[in-house]
Amino acid sequence: MRTPFIAANWKMYKTVHEAVVFVKEFRKLVQDVSDVEIVVAPPFTAVHAVAEAARSSNVGVAGQDLHWEREGAFTGAVSAGMLKEAGAEYVIIGHSERRRLFGETDATVNRKLVAAIGAQLTPIVCIGETLDERERNETLPVLDRQIKQGLDGVHADQIAAMVIAYEPVWAIGTGRNATPAQAGEAHAHIRSRLRQWFGGDAAEQCHIIYGGSVKPDNIRELSSLADVDGALVGGASLDVRSFHEIVTRGRRAAV
């Protein structure tokens, strides 16, 4: 049975003070929500403070990225162990902005995924096609490549425990979002590939969530789709009331 999973990706927004104020208010609003898994991903500078502010609540904490090495001469990078020590339980891997702006590839996604699993962080692995790829009808082959290469060598029980975020790149920060038909097709395809390559149990237990201009006014329709298990929310998660509304509207019967 999959509980809806809704995560806030704050990207390069919020100081430590702003992040803590948000979490202290937000945790009160969702304290009685037991049928949604809730996660916030603050900037690295605020991970520890947010984890402390969220302690003993139903709000989990994620890092926005990580390096695959445990330590080394990697200026500006953060390891899985560092995130874990700071209080993170989850980590976002392969976000389209990391792929587009920082040269992330399916190979580096795979290395980061292995590092996250080794540190007992739950990965939130992002996949999705660009606008050009969609217009060339390459969406499904692109998803196949990203799943096959990004998840290479990962065991079925590890797939079952992770989160995959389908994020059409053309919908990230653009105000556009996939139609229910487009999202439904992509999510069903991802689950079918997981079933084919990792087995039925892994496919049924793995959370597959949607990311791309998610807002309070579209989350309910997206969450009603059989294979959409929640959302990775960007801009609309920066406001306490907006994100609370997304969480409450994103509830649906577990499947």
Mean per-residue pLDDT, 22-50: 98
* Cα distance between residue 128 and residue 17, in whole Å: 33
Residue 64 confidence (pLDDT): 98
Active-site residue flag, 95: yes
Residue 252 confidence (pLDDT): 65
Please give the residue range of the domain that contains residue 61. Answer: 5-249
253: confidence class by pLDDT, cuts 50, 70, 90: very low
Active-site residue flag, 135: no
The active-site residue, picked from 95, 187, 189, 244, is: 95
What is the full DSSP assignment across 56-122?
Answer: TSSEEEEES--BSSSSSS-TT--BHHHHHHHT-SEEEES-HHHHHHH---HHHHHHHHHHHHHTTPE
H or E segment and range at residue 12: none
Nearest Cα to 41, choosing from 239, 232, 242?
232
Nearest Cα to 228, choosing from 184, 167, 162?
184
Residue 68 confidence (pLDDT): 98
Residue 255 lies in a domain: no
In whole numbers, what is the pLDDT of the chain averaged over residues? 95
As for how many domains the chain has, the answer is: 1
User: Which residues contact residue 42 at a Cβ distance below 8 angstroms, ignoring those fewer than 6 apart?
Assistant: 10, 14, 19, 50, 61, 64
Mean per-residue pLDDT, 163-170: 94
CATH number, domain containing residue 66: 3.20.20.70
Residue 181 lies in a domain: yes
The active-site residue, picked from 167, 189, 207, 244, is: 167
Residue 96 has pLDDT above 90, yes or no: yes
* Cα distance between residue 109 and residue 228, in whole Å: 22
Residue 254 lies in a domain: no
Residue 22 lies in a domain: yes
182: confidence class by pLDDT, cuts 50, 70, 90: very high
Residue 254 has pLDDT above 90, yes or no: no
Nearest Cα to 166, choosing from 132, 142, 199, 138?
142
Mean per-residue pLDDT, 98-117: 97
Residue 239 lies in a domain: yes
